[in-house]
Amino acid sequence: MPRTAWLELDLDALRGNLAVVRRIVGPGVLVQPVVKADAYGHGMVPIARVLAEAGADALCVAAFDEAVALRDAGISSRLIVLYPIPPERAVEAAQREIAVAAGEPGLVEALIARVGAAAERLPDLELELEVETGLGRGGLPPEWVAEAASRIEAAGGVRLVGLWTHLQASETPDRTARQIDLFEAATASLAAAGLAIPRRHVAASGGLLLPGIPVYDAVRPGLMIYGLPPDEIDPADLPPAAAELRPVMSLHARPVRVVDLPAGHGISYGPTFTTGRPSRIATLPLGYGDGWSRALSNRADALVRGHRAPIVGNVAMDAMMVDVTDVPGSPVGVDDEFVLLGEQGSERIPASELAQSRTTNSWEVVTTMSRRLPRVYDAAAGPVGIRTLIASEDRWLGSNSGTATSAISRSTRS
């Protein structure tokens, strides 16, 4: 690989997490994992391929160009764009068989108008109506849903296939109950108007891991597909199935320098840390340019030889420093492997710990991992794929996996 800092993605964990979701929802419920934002930083195309091969019923993204990228990569699964698209992209969406969300009357009309002129030569554009039940971000008020559905039914070239909403705080029962009541009211309005009720979906990860939230016809697991329970759920409230979730992502590095520095030596820009004793300091080749937040300066640890060692000094764009003075055994050197997110020996640094240290959530911790960080895709037999800025997943996954395994092994395990 071109550098000695990389992410490892456990594809067996990914498949196992999908299986956990299937057991939770039971038979007959469609599982539609969310792969937006580069699959929460895990690498959208390779993750989508594995999920599709493992039997995901559809894949959800946020932006239209994400769906286009998946189609261009050969992903044939049903795709759902959960945020409104520019109306001028409606014809392309129909051509590419990409379902799109609609939650504003003017945009519904604009989509219908764009598709109508070309309807005879296009597949129907699939529309999923979002219902505003309390999030305050998007969607039609429940009392407008029947009118919009009637307009879609009367138009040519479009077809209503979904009705959905997003929970604001699934861990808050009263708020969630009010949202479900509003969603049910929207469903009832369709029935009262004599309209067919399309596929309904409400539950995302939080809704799947808490009791009493209906799964309806489909679910949209996001964070839990990547092995991470939502931060806002008290671990004591999680169902036994949550213990089966396995984190997919881990972050690794080997130092580019390890040096002994005297007491009184400043570390990194600022400096915000000065050695109080003779210290052995390892420089790791990643920083906030890779998604390792500057907010973690002097506030997080790295694992080396199964022991915690503190990150010291300000995190720079391309580097961070770790005080390895107290790591047992022979002096830590440039051949030692560090883990900044994940497990090593009996120690573990979860995304939730990093999130708490930088006052954010686990979603941001994994999603902000930069495109320039190499991603190594592992399975039980060993590495099967790699994505770097100069080697795409298409080069490594599939028929060339044997070559990839050899190359990756030399790069990351030596």
Asked if 377 is an active-site residue, the reply is: no
Q: How far is CA 5 from the centre of its chain?
A: 20
Establish how many alpha carbons lie within 13 A of residue 374's alpha carbon, considering only the half-sphere containing its beta carbon.
21
CB 36 within 8 A of CB 60: yes
What would you measure as the largest C-alpha separation in the chain, in angstroms?
80
CB 91 within 8 A of CB 118: yes
Asked if 226 is an active-site residue, the reply is: no
Q: What span, in angstroms and rounded, lies between the C-alpha atoms of 28 and 217?
A: 7
377: DSSP letter: E
Q: What span, in angstroms and rounded, lies between the C-alpha atoms of 160 and 124?
A: 10
225: DSSP letter: G
For the record, the structure tokens of 323 come out as 């005080």
Q: How far is CA 290 from the centre of its chain?
A: 16
CB 132 within 8 A of CB 139: yes
Please identify which of the residues 36, 40, 226, 377 carries the catalytic annotation: 36
CB 352 within 8 A of CB 362: yes
Please identify which of the residues 40, 83, 269, 288 carries the catalytic annotation: 269
Q: What span, in angstroms and rounded, lies between the C-alpha atoms of 72 and 75?
A: 7
Parallel/antiparallel/unpaired status of strands 301-304 and 307-312 = antiparallel
Residue given tokens 């979904």 in the structure block: 162
Residue given tokens 């800025």 in the structure block: 389
Q: What span, in angstroms and rounded, lies between the C-alpha atoms of 261 and 267?
A: 10
Q: What span, in angstroms and rounded, lies between the C-alpha atoms of 36 and 40?
A: 6
Q: Which residues are catalytic?
A: 36, 269
